[in-house]
Structure 1
């Protein structure tokens, strides 16, 4: 490819961050419109490059400080769809929001979705995202049949469980470090409505929350809990569970059944300015009010799809409530026999620290494949912490607690873990490194995250 082709991609110097707005990173950013332009950028020289989607990874996974970043959001065409099988083929820059806009009115929904719909499918495969149905349906990779990957040479390889399988499993959850995902085939889920039939369940403490998750495990395909990280003693870990299945037409009240596939999400005004409101007093008050407000409701509560799956998407630019320094989302998982003790230990440490977190989410994980995918069977907790003095050292303490119980931390949300902790938490790293070395022998694809964690050493 020629230099003229590369200049057509319009590289620009830009200051980037993840969704947590921490850390900040300056890079040369390319936004190709065509595969040929992308290929020119990939093969132009041997300097470091990482693909970036919608920028919703929380930490430094899609950052490449003082190196090259390729923004794939313009490569977002939907290529084909088979309504009989539910198989969709599309480019990696398509977002989950775009899938919902196009396919929910036709009776299809993404098979797995994280807590925001404003993520690209390429980024979702690279992080092997999970959702509220992991205990039943595993992660996104379980529903991806194949994808096309541009490796360091510029060659495009079809990857599946049968073809280039080592590269398939190294790319799924591989944080963009094996190459650039160009397009993929995904099996969509057929639904009768845009609503969920479920329950709101109040749990008075950690034990009650786990009991509720176990009790509804086989009944409901989707489950998640908001958990109060400031409660103590007998109320430690008190929670509100939202559980449900997509509602059938028979389960909907008459007014909703008349337009069962309505896709209009509820929107709230944006947070217009950096306005740090998260502190120990505001969080304690919010948590107490939130728990008191959510009284037990009758079974078969009807949720709309937007409020059930994406409550924070209705608040545009919500990270601004943490102020200019940003925040770190800490997400970890413990194996089943360590989950209860791990949750109690971590929640007690958070309470002792008096570090404020009004957004804390508990989910149950099920079976999982992959080399360095995050989920494992057990329970996962995600907590937001404003960036304040001493936070990174405090999170190192949490790492040690999680590690000693056989757990691990999510790379897509990490911004500060040490290389030693990473290696201990991800024992399949040597297998991943071997597959990475074949596809990218010169380590052209790297990121701030991969260098910080020394992932290829």
Structure 2
């Protein structure tokens, strides 16, 4: 069958195995050639695409939960959304969550996803105590910071290239409400929003929508949203019917003028410098999840999500230069997100470093990849790197220059027989096979 990432580029004809038990999973693995694990397929590029993939979705069982400590043991194929639906009404929440709940636990670990609180908490791996990893040999090993630590640090952020995650022990956090107290701060340019990130660094959650088409004195105009868990509103959420995009929209509808009009309207909808409101956690963390199949908005050719990070000491100057280049290209996105990152973790291929990250979408069109190559060079010049979970076209040279622990990662893979066994389109493109 034809499979692709969420950006719908690239595509590959693949054999998709769907084992329903651990023993079936081991049998498929040991009797197959090169393959990659795949959960919900929500990584944007080709990191979960290969000529043979093994789906983890049937491995979605809860094993145990400690109501006193919040320690949860469950299969890796369960999604964040399924966990939230079950545990939020009981007063528990994920301490770290990305911008979509349609992600499996295994995928969250493999991508070492981050959320709106990385500046305080770090990546998803910070809330993981241990996991069981199925190796190329068919053996399953328990991995933690103390036990098989080399595999733990290689697997968290390792894009599924060390083995297949079977089950996970992680920690949830107690809450008394399913609502978030959100404050929206209006910034007229990049300098102002960077100052706001500094002044609001004590906020539990922070994220900025940024107008990447605005130029001159308005370059980087933004809306910074900060959030705190509310104590009001209760633990139950109202049921809202999702919106569906039923067909691919004509690619021509998404152009410089339509995006510019949307960005202007979105920015001007906030009329005061500071606006406070209580919103549901779904609205705050997962605004796009209400729009099913929103990737169809970019047309049948798909899109590339481009996310980079640059270190804090180069952040303001570097972000200014990169935003200026994006604005001058007239290829900006209406889904552009700026966040502040905290400290780097010891995982070998984890994306964040202390600094600033920008994520935005580009529909695939003539000249796009040449622009992205330019942006890659600018990111590298400022000491940054590109997020592997969003990547669909980064070169081997760019990857190896920016992820300086890739050779240590390969050493671990070699030791456990993962090279040329757990492989993806991405791993081949980046020179890891």
Q: Same fold (TM over 0.5)?
A: yes
Q: Does 1:312 align with 2:296?
A: no
Residue 269 of structure 1 corresponds to 243
Q: Deviations over 1:393-420 (max 9, x none)?
A: 1101100000011000000000000000
Per-residue CA deviations over 1:51-94 (Å, capped at 9, x if unaligned) read: 00000000000000xx2100110100011100111100110100
Contact 2:186 2:274 in 1 (8 A): no
Please point out which of 268, 279, 287 is paired with 2:263: 287
1-side partners of 2:331 and 2:415: how far apart? 44
How far apart, in 2, do the equivalents of 1:81 and 1:300 lie? 35
Q: Determine whether 1:50 maps to 2:36.
A: yes
2:113 to 129, 134, 142: 129
| Corresponding position: 1:333 with 2:309 | yes
2:242, 2:222 → 1: CA distance?
A: 25
Q: 1:148-191 CA distances to partner (integer Å, 9 max, x unpaired)?
A: 00000000000000000000000000000000000000100111
Partner of 1:9: none
1:349 to 325, 339, 345: 325
Contact 1:179-1:440 at 8 Å conserved across structures? no
1:373 CA drift (Å): 0.3
CA drift of 1:367 comes to 1.5
Give the equivalent residue in structure 2 for 1:244.
227
For 1:115-194, list aligned pairs within 5 A: 115-194=99-178
The Cα shift of 1:440 comes to: 1.8
Determine the C-alpha separation between the residues in 2 that align with 1:440 and 1:391.
Answer: 37
For 1:61-140, list aligned pairs within 5 A. Answer: 61-64=47-50, 67-140=51-124
1:341 to partner: Cα distance: 1.1
The residue that corresponds to 1:413 in the other structure is 390
RMSD: 1.1
| 1:414-449 deviation per Cα after TM superposition (whole angstroms, max 9, x unaligned) | 000000000001001111111111112552111000
CA deviations on 1:186-224 (whole Å, 9 max, x unpaired) are 100111101111311001111100111111111x11111
Residue-by-residue CA offset, 1:369-401 (whole Å, 9 max, x unaligned):
111100111000001000001111110110000
2:56/2:76 contact within 8 Å kept: yes
Counterpart contact for 1:101–1:263, Cα < 8 Å: no
Q: CA deviation at 1:298?
A: 5.3
Select the residue among 415, 422, 432 that pairs with 1:438.
415
Rounded Cα–Cα distance in structure 1 between residues aligned with 2:279 and 2:355: 26
TM-score computed with the length of structure 2 as normaliser: 0.97
In 2, distance between residues paired with 1:269 and 1:118? Answer: 15
Consecutive unaligned residues in structure 1, runs of 5 or more: 1-13
Conservation of the 8 A alpha-carbon contact between 1:127 and 1:175: yes
Give, in whole Å, the separation in 1 of the partners of 2:155 and 2:409: 9
Is the contact between residue 363 and residue 380 of structure 1 (CA under 8 Å) also seen in structure 2? Answer: yes
Counterpart CA distance in 1 for 2:10 and 2:266 is 31
Q: Secondary structure at the match of 1:135?
A: coil
Q: CA deviation at 1:326?
A: 0.2
Cα distance in 2 for partners of 1:431, 1:438 equals 11
For residues 274-312 of structure 1, the C-alpha deviation after alignment (integer angstroms, 9 at most, x for no partner) is 013311110000001111112227564212111100010
Do the aligned partners of 2:135 and 2:418 also contact (CA within 8 Å) in 1?
A: no
Match of 1:302 in 2: 278
Match 2:20 to one of 33, 37, 45: 33
2:413–2:419 contact (8 Å) kept in structure 1: no
Contact 1:139 1:368 in 2 (8 A): no
Whole-angstrom CA distance in 2 between matches of 1:305 and 1:87: 21
Q: How many Å separate the matches in 2 of 1:105 and 1:440?
A: 43
In 1, Cα distance between equivalents of 2:112 and 2:418 = 23
Distance 1:221 1:117 in 2: 19
Note if contact 2:181-2:279 (Cα within 8 Å) is conserved in structure 1. Answer: yes
